[in-house]
Chains A and B, each alone.
Chain A
């Protein structure tokens, strides 16, 4: 059976090579930050830095956004970050939201899982969007910030001299080679990171043997978007198949190779087409379909031990490789970029000491290890690494219909926001006195509210109130803040610390507040009586919280963060 391939329903714009003004082969300007790699992570880092007013050069080796089937799932946490970066509209317009999935064993449905989706959420728990679109929307936002973000296409880094006070990069382009000096380098150059290689750094962890074939197809189908997993399906006995719907009629099919199957043979179209055909037949899909792309995937669970090497900061796949199962790859990279951007901006602007960047490594290495432990569990189920995992999986799948307690073992453990529980930036504060709400190190819990702007109210969400600053979230009764808080605000501004007091009110009519608890759920959710205070980082993680605002304790927490 042979079906003609069709192209993706997306045309990537091609960009010419660009060279900066040179003096003796060297970029005339020395740059505070150079981001190596124009992928989702590189763009998020660049947009984050720009939101703090820091100029960035992005070096991208290719001449366009990516091609092929790569990241496809963007989590709620990532959407929250991208919203803060001002790039979320396209994601929400084009992405396909989904809230759960089904797993089947042979003919039986053995799990129907749902992710958190209640009336408090601004964003769906997950959307499906192809990586070329993810990159395009971020690139569009970067082009809007061309005052601070310069993207240089067809700029391939071929050497690095990493010093204590900066780095010199050698860049090759079709228009000639040059060198560029940077105070800081963000290495977002992907799974095969040249910078990681050049600095002699090694990823550590586990590589799995089980391989998956990844096929993108175009298919007419009204089936809703959800994660579908078929274990030992009648159409492909002994295999495991995953199916995801993407925008514009693209469907992603992943299936596991059988033991002993030759990967080179397996990805030949004549071997792929019958498998897809029989899968679609089993699913009852009768629409016309065409293949678009075929690739192969092998799970890795690897990370660097440290993401900071002198003035080079690793992020995304360059720093860690996570298994595909649980969709943590791009999402954890976007979280890396969000964590790094404000810290690097604070250091570049001289507001914080360089130690703040060590907390980037500490927090994100810990996050990677947590992601790896979930990803490893998912992989051990989706691609059993031994006869024992295979046998036990068969037992779980066979019993799960009758024994609901076993179904959690089938759950794919989708990516969710990670808490920096042991961060050096956390202030223990009055943690023990709160019975609910996000603890220090956690991200803010979402809640709808009425935003108050210039005396007018409009519907919004709590996270809409978080800007690229340290936010003092004050839970007031009627919008009035203590004089001590106004003094702290003035003192922080005088020191040049990006800081904002955001006042919430428990009742309507508080025109001095930024938002009021129109649903009556917010104060309870945060266990906040009037007077309560949350100190929040620019990335939305809680630094500390107090039953009542205490200027000295809050100042100490901020000082600790800046000098960390």
Chain B
């Protein structure tokens, strides 16, 4: 999978925690909408239609409950 400018492990860790905390504050009911909005923002920022499609497929592949 392509991953252009990479984050350091520490940066990824901080980004992950920030996202978890933000979602916690919004509450479970609003979590799907929050993640959908995040996906849209990431999509336009990625700016590469083929890549976005690939990422969408990768996110869906082998998804379990």
**Chain A residues within CB distance 8 Å of chain B:** 106, 377, 380, 385-389, 391-392, 396, 398-399, 402-403, 405-406, 408-409
Contacts and interface: CB of A to CB of B under 8 A. Distances in A.
A386 B17 contact: no
Contacts of B62: 398
Contact of A389 (B3, B13, B24): B24
Contacts of B17: 377, 380
Contacts of B6: 405
Interface SS of chain A: helix, strand, loop or mixed? Answer: helix
Contacts of B46: none
Contacts of B64: 106, 398
A406 B64 CA distance: 18
A455 to B, nearest CB: 49
Interface in B7-30: 9, 12-13, 16-17, 19-24, 28
Contacts of A398: 62-64
Interface SS of chain B: helix, strand, loop or mixed? Answer: helix
Nearest to A409: B16
A377 B13 contact: yes
B58 interface: yes
Given A389-B20, A398-B63, A408-B12, 4 more contacts: A388-B19, A388-B24, A388-B28, A405-B12
Interface residues of B, number: 21
B21 to A, nearest CB: 7
11 contacts: A106-B64, A386-B24, A388-B21, A388-B22, A389-B24, A398-B62, A398-B64, A402-B1, A402-B58, A402-B61, A409-B16
Contact of B31 (A106, A385, A387, A402): A387
A386 B13 contact: no
B20 A380 contact: yes
A372 to B, nearest CB: 14
A387 B26 CA distance: 11
Q: Which of A377, A385, A389 has the most chain B CB atoms closer than 10 A to its own CB?
A: A389
A403 B6 CA distance: 13
A386 B31 CA distance: 12
A139 to B, nearest CB: 40
Contact of A392 (B12, B19, B58): B19
